[in-house]
Chains A and B, each alone.
Chain A
């Protein structure tokens, strides 16, 4: 029995030691990684200093070109959008930013398409390496169950599924000349788009869907940051899509620091297949047209100091 106990302890000792060592190695690899997503996340959570921040999902990441916005507004701009991420992720990014400085303006992409993301809470895995940093992050990561906390007993777990990209990210160099914007190439295959639209937007959303969006706007309000809630272009809309857009518009109307800007049916892009990668994502040409239209309106808003006066 004593021999078995010793063997058990040796086994557990090796597991714990290896877990710790590999966890530390992963952490070192993570902070030095030049892999696009890791580098961008690190930057948005730790280093942004820009005056305008763009928050949101892939529709933010692929639609808003910071360099065009900067030219029109005269303000430095960074696109913090991340594919597959919902409002909770944006709120976390905003909270981390506010610990460092107060941006002069926040743009958040909030559209029916963003709200239709399947399980955005599950895609928060990107934040695993930051689980210790903030209770909001920790609660978001452990919110799925009573026993989720146990996973963090492992030092490796925060780097789960990233080892290959961490290694490759340490072997390459990278620079972000596009300030967080990620262009898409290609054009939409329009067959079946209307059917998919109708399958995605069946009913207006319940109020719970908008809670985090409201929290983002009210967090900005507490720091006197004007917010532009932007419904960026989609290839096609339907009645329910428009109803959800109106729900978002109604929410914005509740906050003096928020303005709702709807480009979902921007004339120059609506049902123009050559400017879309798929039904909810613009390609780079489409993004340029959209951002130019948006920048003009943003510059006007900023010049008029609409929000500051409120």
Chain B
């Protein structure tokens, strides 16, 4: 079920009402049934795959807790292989097979292994990672195994974050399913406001920008460097509004019922370095990779070359996590390169900053850092959005030619895009430097604040895109 559909609006009202009407002991069961329904709206049969991995991880957790010695490691590995195996078959099999064919062809051989014609289960990478975090935490004895199968299943399937995160940790979520959440008007209203902001940035900004971005990126050979540069900037805001919009709706929907999900975005385009960007962008995934890959690899407590390798490798894997395509791997590699390059050149850059006197102009320095970080992020997004690696390189080449006319298309449409980005930046600047809350508007005057939210609803109705387009991250 898509969050940006009326089906979801009706579903949300029914489930939330039932949640508060039912006695506490039945709530988890109702939420589990509702989450199953939510998932089955996409491809019903795939619930069996999800159910299979839930059963494996549930028993793995119990055995991991009971067992001592080397056997524990075997159970952990078995559980991880089961999870990654499903991911590998559905997400990476065809990619690997295709590349094997290319490799064999180059040596004059033919690959006779057939491709699989299967749809990728929606949000597979998200719930797989969430399930893996459970078994790893139980293995590390930082989390007790969950005995109630239904509660464990709900931990993996909780509908607000089932298909696109935030990727939760068992320590944050499991206990919440046992807590009794009463109806708190302020909390409910805050949750609804966050959802409304999520709908606004998805329907009014992301989906509007998508029209221009898709028109350009689907025919990159037909567009000039200026057009491709503008489309890339638009895509940077599109993907941000698309994914953070989803996260806001998820966090808001959970908050209405009394659940607290982790923050997933913290105004990433106000970052001053790429390193900071990754502390503000898709936080639940970044911390997952830090906890379960970067630190086990040794993190920064190793030799300097190894440290650089660890950073680069984690981003390469992060790229692959996003999709089985060379474009994502290149995107990950670019980000890994940025981080390593930043570390290698840190001293030199500090000296340069002092030399040109930027350290005495903190505001200008901050602006230049934010601007540079944004441009670097945009450069990497080219490969994230491009339909193929060849398209990505073509787009980069065209952009650096600095020529050609700007494709306007539909002028009002372009105007909506520019105005909505400026509006977003204004709201986020206020959040970043003044109000410091995830909610977009705050005022001591009740009516003034409510009018701002009323205007969001009106603007959604006026210029929101109501074609129920998918969230970009659903494909991962």
A residues with a Cβ closer than 8 A to B are: 1, 4, 7, 10-11, 14-15, 18-19, 22, 122, 144-148, 150-151, 154, 156-157, 159-161, 163-165, 168
Contacts and interface: CB of A to CB of B under 8 A. Distances in A.
A146 B450 CA distance: 31
B5 A147 contact: yes
B262 to A, nearest CB: 28
A150 B465 contact: no
B461 interface: yes
Given A4-B185, A7-B446, A151-B6, A161 B458 contact: no
A173 to B, nearest CB: 18
A307 B412 CA distance: 46
Nearest to A23: B461
Nearest to B450: A11
A145 B1 CA distance: 12
Contact of B467 (A11, A122, A165): A122
Contact of B466 (A1, A10, A151): A151
Given A163-B462, A165-B412, A150 B451 contact: no
Q: Which 10 A-B pairs have the closest CB atoms?
A: A164-B412, A147-B6, A156-B461, A4-B185, A14-B454, A150-B6, A163-B462, A154-B461, A11-B450, A147-B7
A156 B457 CA distance: 11
9 contacts: A7-B446, A18-B454, A18-B458, A19-B458, A147-B10, A156-B458, A160-B462, A160-B463, A165-B412
A85 B6 CA distance: 25
B12 to A, nearest CB: 12
A22 B415 contact: no
Contacts of A15: 454, 457-458
Interface in B446-476: 446, 450-451, 453-454, 457-458, 461-468
B7 A145 contact: yes
A160 B461 contact: yes
Query: By CB atoms of chain B within 10 A, which of A22, A146, A160, A161 has the most?
Result: A161
A59 B451 CA distance: 46
Interface in B220-259: none
Nearest to B222: A189
Nearest to A3: B185
Contact of B7 (A18, A146, A154, A165): A146
A156 B462 CA distance: 6
Contacts of B415: 164
A145 to B, nearest CB: 7
A1 B185 contact: yes
A147 B457 contact: no
B9 interface: yes
A147 B9 contact: yes
B409 to A, nearest CB: 13
Contact of A160 (B5, B453, B454, B464): B464
Given A1-B185, A7-B446, 11 more contacts: A4-B185, A15-B454, A18-B454, A145-B5, A146-B7, A147-B6, A147-B9, A156-B461, A156-B462, A160-B466, A163-B462
Contacts of B461: 19, 154, 156-157, 160
A35 B205 CA distance: 24
B457 to A, nearest CB: 6
Nearest to B453: A11
Contacts of A164: 412, 415-416
Contacts of B465: 161
B446 A148 contact: no
A145 B467 CA distance: 11
